[in-house]
Amino acid sequence: MKSRLKNIAGLLALSLFINSCSSDDNGSAPADGTSGDVELFFDNGVAGDALMLGNSYTNSNGETLIFERFTYIVSNFVLIKEDGSEFTYPKNESYFIINEETGQFTVHLENVPAGDYKKIKFGIGVDQQRYLQGETAQQSFWDLAFANNMTWTWSTGYRFINCQGTFTVDPAHGGDTTSRGFMIHQGSNTATDNYREVVLNLPTTARVREGEMPNIHLKSDANVILDGDTKIELHHNLNGAGTAASIMAGENLITIANNTKKMFTVDHVHNGAGTHH
């Protein structure tokens, strides 16, 4: 009799364990009206390699770049469920700076309605609607952007991307191996609106629950700025003295804006209470 009771108890424990695992795998339905947080981690790289300031990287243009600065603005986050319904993060709080120099790689979204999210949408830069609200309405973010070298003057607005360093050119591509500086300051101007949006599928559902925080790990590829769908060669953008390359206006900014629509991919999603990268 005792042996039978032990067997029954063992079967019950096994059943509870299997049900528990099944519940963890499938996820329980979120309680109505509850919310949680979402963290996004931006992992900067160059054509599949980790981006390290001071390291050199050679692109398909025959140019070898050493990055000394790589900073960009991401904004206007939207989380999308499988049925297409969207949660738009409050606009006034939806502007963030990712800065390789200072080690700022995370975006933390608070009070996101509990649910299962399959896509994420966000902007690169600051949209015209926000900019035209005026300086007073966005003073705190303007000050933050200024502190991170992401502004021009107020009349000319924000830098969306600030990418700087030095480069050399392979003689086979018309270079002379001389090291020259480069500056790429991407943003909108009076002629063009260079703000862009990206929509990315999540490889795993991001489960937002009260007390649980999914971590979405994104990879950004600095190489696509110059070496994306449309190529831009730094040595064709030298100043009059031929001592440095500067890209801050003109058609190249439109090209960069379009290239950067493919700068981001989602690597993986961690669901749970902790922070993962």
Report, as an integer, the average pLDDT of 163-177: 90
β-bridge pairing 180-186 and 244-247: parallel
Is 7 a residue whose pLDDT tops 90? Answer: no
Is 29 a residue whose pLDDT tops 80? Answer: no
Query: Does residue 235 contact residue 63 with C-beta atoms inside 8 Å?
Result: yes
Is 104 a residue whose pLDDT tops 80? Answer: yes
β-bridge pairing 49-50 and 63-81: unpaired
β-bridge pairing 56-58 and 106-113: unpaired
What region does 177 belong to: left with phi over 0, alpha with psi -120 to 50, or beta?
Answer: left
- To which residue do tokens 């500067």 refer? 246
Lowest mean pLDDT among 91-105, 233-247, 253-267: 233-247
Beta strands in 26-179 (DSSP E): 35-46, 49-50, 56-58, 63-81, 86-88, 95-99, 106-113, 115-124, 161-169
Chain segment 42-70, per-residue pLDDT in tens: 999 999 999 999 999 999 999 999 999 99
Is 170 a residue whose pLDDT tops 70? Answer: yes
pLDDT of residue 22: 33
Q: How far apart are CA 24 and CA 250, in angstroms?
A: 53
Q: Which helix (H) or strand (E) holds 199?
A: strand 196-208
Chain segment 211-252, per-residue pLDDT in tens: 889 999 999 999 999 999 999 999 999 998 889 999 998 999
Chain segment 115-156, per-residue pLDDT in tens: 999 999 999 999 999 998 888 888 999 999 999 999 998 778
More confident residue, 2 or 276: 276
